[in-house]
Chain A
């Protein structure tokens, strides 16, 4: 039997708290899971700094990737297989893309990418097509198979139905992370009837559509996305931890570029500071490496770096105040001046943060064809955009809430070490 169709002698299962079991029968899938690049995902948390707020949120991208694979496997094997619109020849390709869609995420992905202006999707592509163990496994299917998987994940594969299973407004990625994040954070929102959604998903020419009778299950899913955004993803304390993390990396970069003699040289970061890093150096990084450096840097002579690392590791986070840029942008300038006068560097200790800094998205109907909306399939076969039929979705998809906060070290300012601190606090608190 050729490798593409080779099955394991016995089905393997992974116990999973969200889907109960993850089932693996394909030899290729089993081999991919065993590669070092995929195992690395065990050391990268799915929700970055959120564990500092919801202590259960220690789950990894490894778990999530298996979950996405399992959802796609069920959609194909239990729903699409045998239907005219679905090409069963694409089964393995779709499963591999589902399993590997997050392969290029770095440690504390969002913060790391922001500081070093990187894109995890490009690393996913590079790992799939480069000199890696994953590539070696995929190449055994066919020489162009790694590129095909990369094309599905990169959304440039000609079969748009396959692409939409991995990446669309109602895809396996979102269905797994909403449920998984809800489970591990312990929040009660984020749950929806996935079983029902899987039963009403239908393959169409270019995307997955939903049978009209499943509209209410999809409404539930859209509400989950909305609630998880505000209650978990944009939690202000989690944002505080991420603000500090970003500032640590900025400070280390600044010190490196200005020739600061590190007591604990940032060996793993130097090529990132200089933008000369290799794929192998990227793969070597995980959250354990970062936090180890933070432990060492707490002892650095540079007071800002040492303080920020201590704050992150020991959860001495910044406090926040509501901030209305429309009426208060001049106040920000005044605060920056006062911080400098008081000997506190506002670059690191006075940080405005907006909801647009965290692009977890809501459902929104098509915008001048920028993004494919969710379509309901009516009984006569006609497709209708979801918000045209659902009042609930219409009510939340058109209206946006934005949020802005100002982060600052309240503990330091409350020490009253400098007479200006009180004035700064009063201004921050709007007194």
Chain B
């Protein structure tokens, strides 16, 4: 079974729509850090955790006709959105059901902005460090985004909230 492909389609189906490639990248990274079984490998790029494998997989899913891609001109950039097609819906019926707690996690992530998720995912990338070093790393990696102390606090609070409802909680 193409389980790893199916997990991505299931994720987008549960989210309703994935608006923005960056947001999708960060949502799946955060879900993975909450121990949901996503296989895509992430690396730190100039702007935070990024998975080339996920980019390729989403492209494959679009070519397979399980996802549809649309793009909107936002002026300075183009935003890509993804939806599950009818065939994609039939495809995931043949796959293992996702973990029961995933829907809750996605709902929490969906309500947040791309900028906030970028901050959360980058903090999680450095979660092996003490809190002050995590913050320092985020300021180095994302020096142009100027995250405020309040945003940092909100991000740590959100991570604690997510961890409380993760698979291992």
Question: Do A and B belong to a common assembly?
Answer: yes
Q: Interface of A with B (CB < 8 Å)? A: 113-114, 119, 121, 154-158, 160, 324-326, 329-330, 332-333, 336, 352, 354-357, 359, 361, 367-372, 400, 402, 404
Collect the chain A residues with CB atoms within 8 Å of residue B66's CB.
Answer: 326
Contact of A369 among B47, B56, B65 (CB under 8 A): B47
- Contact (Cβ within 8 A) A326 B140: no
Whether A329 lies near B91 (C-beta < 8 A) is yes
A368 to B75: give the CA distance in the assembly, Å.
Answer: 12
Find chain A residues with CB under 8 A from B57 CB: 354, 356
| Neighbouring A residues of B94 by C-beta, 8 Å | 329-330, 333
- Min distance, Cβ B137 to any Cβ of chain A, angstroms: 5
Interface CB pairs A-B, < 8 A, 29 = A121-B43, A155-B45, A156-B137, A157-B140, A158-B140, A160-B46, A324-B64, A325-B5, A325-B60, A326-B66, A329-B2, A329-B91, A333-B1, A333-B94, A354-B5, A354-B57, A354-B60, A356-B56, A359-B52, A359-B53, A367-B21, A370-B21, A370-B25, A370-B45, A371-B45, A371-B50, A372-B46, A400-B63, A404-B60
B: number of interface residues (CB 8 Å): 35
Minimum CB–CB distance for A231 against chain B, Å: 18
- The answer to whether B59 touches A119, judged by C-beta atoms less than 8 angstroms apart, is no
Interface-central residue, B43, B44, B56, B140, by most chain A CB under 10 Å: B56
Other A-B pairs beyond A369-B22, A371-B50, 12, CB < 8 Å: A157-B140, A325-B5, A333-B1, A354-B2, A354-B5, A354-B60, A359-B53, A370-B22, A370-B45, A370-B47, A402-B60, A404-B60
Q: Find chain A residues with CB under 8 A from B91 CB.
A: 329
Closest chain A residue, CB of each to CB of B74:
A368
**Does B46 contact A400, Cβ atoms closer than 8 Å?**
no
Instruction: For A155, give the chain B residue with the smallest CB separation.
Output: B44
- CB-CB nearest 5 A-B residue pairs: A356-B56, A326-B64, A356-B57, A359-B52, A368-B22
Q: Is B79 an interface residue (CB 8 A)?
A: yes
How far apart are B85's CB and chain A's nearest CB, in angstroms? 10
A361 lies within 8 A of B60 (CB): no
What's the count of A-B pairs with C-beta under 8 Å? 85
The residues of B that contact A400 with a CB separation of less than 8 Å are 56, 59, 63
B120 CB, min distance to chain A CBs, angstroms: 16
CB distance from A228 to the nearest CB of B (A): 16
Cα–Cα distance between A322 and B57 once the two chains are bound (Å): 18
> What is the CA–CA distance of A155 and B142 in the complex, to the nearest angstrom?
11
Taking the closest CB of chain B, its distance from the CB of A399, in whole angstroms, is 10
In the complex, whether B70 has a CB less than 8 A from a CB of chain A is: no
Which chain B residue lies CB-closest to A371?
A: B45
Assembled-state Cα–Cα distance A372/B91 (Å): 35
- Residues in chain B near residue A333, CB distance under 8 A: 1, 94
Of chain B, the residue at the smallest CB distance from A357 is B53
A199 to chain B, nearest CB (A): 25
Distance in angstroms between the alpha carbons of A336 and B91 in the assembled complex = 16
Is the C-beta of B89 less than 8 angstroms from some C-beta in chain A? no
Chain B residue at minimal CB-CB distance from A122: B128
Q: Min CB distance, A169 to chain B, in Å?
A: 10
Chain B residues with Cβ below 8 Å from A324 are 64
Q: Are A326 and B44 in contact (CB under 8 A)?
A: no
Q: Is B65 within 8 A of A326, CB to CB?
A: yes
Q: Which residue among A155, A333, A368 has the maximum number of chain B CB atoms within 10 Å of its CB?
A: A368
Are A368's CB and B77's CB within 8 A? yes
Q: Which B residues touch A354, using CB under 8 A? A: 2, 5, 57, 60
Q: How far is the CB of B39 from chain A (nearest CB, A)?
A: 8
B141 and A156 form a contact (CB under 8 A)? yes
